[in-house]
A and B are shown apart, each in its own frame.
Chain A
């Protein structure tokens, strides 16, 4: 396999290319996707794709989120595989009826007569832009039966999961963290945590419904996704130096959720710390904690604990945002408390 160093932006772009080359049913729809001299979508993921595939398959729309998602649903119903983009994940709330009442329910309501194979790409995470450009929205979709939820932490997973999402026969909400996009034909956030990794140029899929053990450990289990996976890995390194060995699992797909590796890890370590960027209450971590405590309660040496954003909207001032988004220090402190307790 030939591989190339890619940022997440490049890996996602490559994933879209591969999908479009391999299946004429795949097309892109959203704002500023393919305008000559334009942005290539909210974060340049689609930059250059209209040159290669034309403006019919890289479809630019008015600022009309309901129409973007609704049109994706309609096209999917008659056999296409649209990939729709919201420029920021927060704008999906404009189109929530199309996601929750329409995309998620059509297959069920029709008793299986129709299906909605579409992907909805949402850039998420706080990035100094304020409360309406910051939310991590996994939990909203996890709560809605009929939607799959994917949230990669690195370029390799991003491409493989995106290809699997596009070929899945259901609506998939695909979250991309702004601070993980990286540069290279992309907007690089100043606080970017993105790492460039080797990504195959070929077609490959990472199955939905999988999580990934990123690091073995015996003292506690850290569960995290997207940017928080990186914070958890950094925390694990610091914890090592204090003699605490953390296992880290990348929660790269939340629906369907593969509980088995989580259960196995919790049984091994007896302690679970969940790290999420979403607001604490009703986040994905709450659901995972509930399921884990049902499954492994008697193996646990300490209560399942969460580090999350507080239950406030995201503030904008850098010092406040820094307080808001869980830091490596907070993860380390919570982990030490767990192992001490």
Chain B
């Protein structure tokens, strides 16, 4: 693990809190899914929390993120309300997208979370475009594109990153290599070990990061963000991580071994950060427990809120096809 000394205790504690919030949220949602209370699909984030949190804590409120079909961690890390997320997933009027988007399209512009994208890789050129706009307007804002290992094989990845590279766009490409795209091991679909190596093809920095270590992720992102804000262009960060759950609802994960899952779980980003906060930063166990309990209550309250929320009125079906001229 990277030492936590470089970070103010407040930041380290907040990282821990957000990771726990994500984990508890996802676990609770899974329990609800098993009870049949979650309509539609579900792509869960357990195991990858260090990536979302390490990235989002390095951003300013006016930066923007572009997420994927697996967006819960990203939005929670960015500070979006668990209520709005839970309600969106449950198809309620109080959802962050009014129930129109659903689990794969969480959107919350109040925290700079652009519409999450269910087309693999599609947000890579889109994030580049947002970054180009910031550059055009002389703003020092950055855009972050989150995507998976599998997404690194789609054309949009190559076109989007190359465009960003040649234009020095202030964008950070965060590849969450959780080892699989659906049931396909990424190792069977790449001749190279590290997706980060592809950065060389576009002439930008590429870095392999331990995605189970929130501080390592945070360090790498701070550097990439700094570079982008100063007009020195994009960075490709490959965070090596793992998803504990199946790819989507009901996937028992027969394509990977229990052993493999166990090995990754032993490197759990939350347990490690917890140990570090106690040993290196002298935080009291009780304080951590109280953070955990607070997260649990927040999650339970959010889900209760979602369950008790009304469904959208059917007239909503017809709204927002076009934006009116003001």
Contact = CB atoms under 8 A, between A and B. Distances in A.
Interface of A: 31-32, 35-39, 60-66, 87, 90-91, 93-94, 128-133, 187, 310-313, 315-320, 323-324
Nearest to B119: A132
Contact of B102 (A31, A316, A324): A316
A235 B184 CA distance: 43
How large, as a class, is the contact surface on chain B? 35 or more
Q: Is chain A's binding surface mostly helix, strand, loop or mixed?
A: loop
B119 A35 contact: no
B184 A31 contact: yes
A320 B316 contact: yes
Contacts of B153: 62-64
A132 B92 CA distance: 19
Interface string B212-255: 00000000000000000000000000000000000000110111
A63 B151 contact: yes
A312 B318 CA distance: 7
A129 B311 CA distance: 16
Contacts of B101: 130-131, 316
A63 B154 contact: yes
A50 to B, nearest CB: 12
Query: In this complex, which of B41, B99, B183 has the most chain A Cβ atoms within 10 angstroms of its Cβ?
Result: B183
A132 B118 contact: yes
B155 interface: yes
Given A32-B184, A60-B184, A316 B321 contact: no
Given A62-B150, A65-B154, A315-B99, A131 B105 contact: yes
Given A37-B255, A133-B104, A317 B182 contact: no
A65 B157 CA distance: 13
29 contacts: A31-B181, A37-B253, A39-B251, A60-B188, A62-B184, A63-B150, A63-B153, A63-B154, A64-B154, A66-B154, A91-B120, A93-B119, A94-B154, A129-B41, A130-B40, A131-B101, A131-B105, A312-B321, A316-B100, A316-B102, A316-B105, A317-B91, A317-B99, A317-B311, A317-B312, A317-B316, A319-B99, A320-B317, A323-B314
Given A38-B183, A133-B104, A312 B317 contact: yes
A319 B102 CA distance: 12
